Amino acid sequence: MEQKDIVREIHHAFKFYHALGVESVPIEVLEQLNSIVGKEKSSADIPIPDLPDSCPAPGDETLKEKQLFELRATIGDCHRCGLAAKRTHLVFGAGNPCAKVMFIGEGPGRDEDLQGQPFVGAAGELLTKIIMAMGLKRREVYIANVVKCRPPGNRDPEPDEVETCIEFLKKQIEIIAPGVIIALGRVAAQSIFETDEKIGSLRGKFRQFHGIPVMPTYHPAYLLRYPRAKETVWKDVQQVMAMLGVKEK
């Protein structure tokens, strides 16, 4: 690797850590790197990925929107498990039906339950920063959860609740057919892979789900409690970016 590439790598990593609020990143070092790398590149601060179109044929987007709409209608006013009793809103999922990158969380929290949208609370803010640090916008990705209704008190969903609900997530994945999935946290990773392996050993390694590469990593809520783990998440996310061929322009 050439020296300028090493500098660029360090710059990129520092920007990510800084964007996510890792306080150990010295701002003066980041500013120095900004000025060095900025001289070499004329583009915007955040890299813009060159993602291939995941809806290549005309009408693909409309078709996927329709299929998602029909899936939502199938779920209906769901009372298939006990989570229905205490929910305010069912949180189906949100984002681009042609998304190349799909994020999967565990289940709605309090804010999500109130608003009916995934990842809109504090963990969601952090997820948005991760998405932006990848050079993407929230509206370019798709975000869904393993269970669609809030487990009371933010407890983990019970195995029977996951079992009841996961068929809808699988259908969402099938419709969107993303290029890559990022599984956020233990519940998402274990549910997708049907394993009880710990997230510490699952994370950082691609596995396939129906031919789609899945990268498990720590949940943003965990990062709020253990900010040091942000650096680990960045390493996992970088693997996804490399796999997508995301380049700094």
Name the residues that contact ligand URA, by CB under 6 A. Answer: 105-109, 112, 118-119, 123-124, 145, 221
Q: Least distance to ligand URA from the beta carbon of 31, Å?
A: 33
| C-alpha–C-alpha distance, residues 122 and 230, integer Å | 15
Q: Which is nearer to ligand URA, 51 or 189 (CB)?
A: 189
Outline where DSSP puts E strands in the chain.
Answer: 94-95, 101-105, 142-145, 180-184, 207-209, 212-217
Q: Least distance to ligand URA from the beta carbon of 156, Å?
A: 10
Q: Which is nearer to ligand URA, 47 or 216 (CB)?
A: 216
Q: Which is nearer to ligand URA, 108 or 135 (CB)?
A: 108
Residue 207, Cβ neighbours under 10 Å: how many?
16
DSSP character at residue 238: H
Q: Which is nearer to ligand URA, 147 or 180 (CB)?
A: 147
Pair of tokens at residue 32: 């120095």
Q: Which is nearer to ligand URA, 37 or 112 (CB)?
A: 112
Q: Least distance to ligand URA from the beta carbon of 95, Å?
A: 12
Cα atoms found within 13 Å of the Cα of residue 166, Cβ hemisphere only: 17
Give the distance between the most distant pair of CA atoms in the chain: 59
For residues 106 and 156, the answer to whether their CB atoms sit within 8 Å is yes
Q: Least distance to ligand URA from the beta carbon of 162, Å?
A: 12
- Comparing every residue's Cβ against ligand URA, the nearest one is 105
Amino acid at position 88, single letter: T
Q: Least distance to ligand URA from the beta carbon of 157, Å?
A: 10
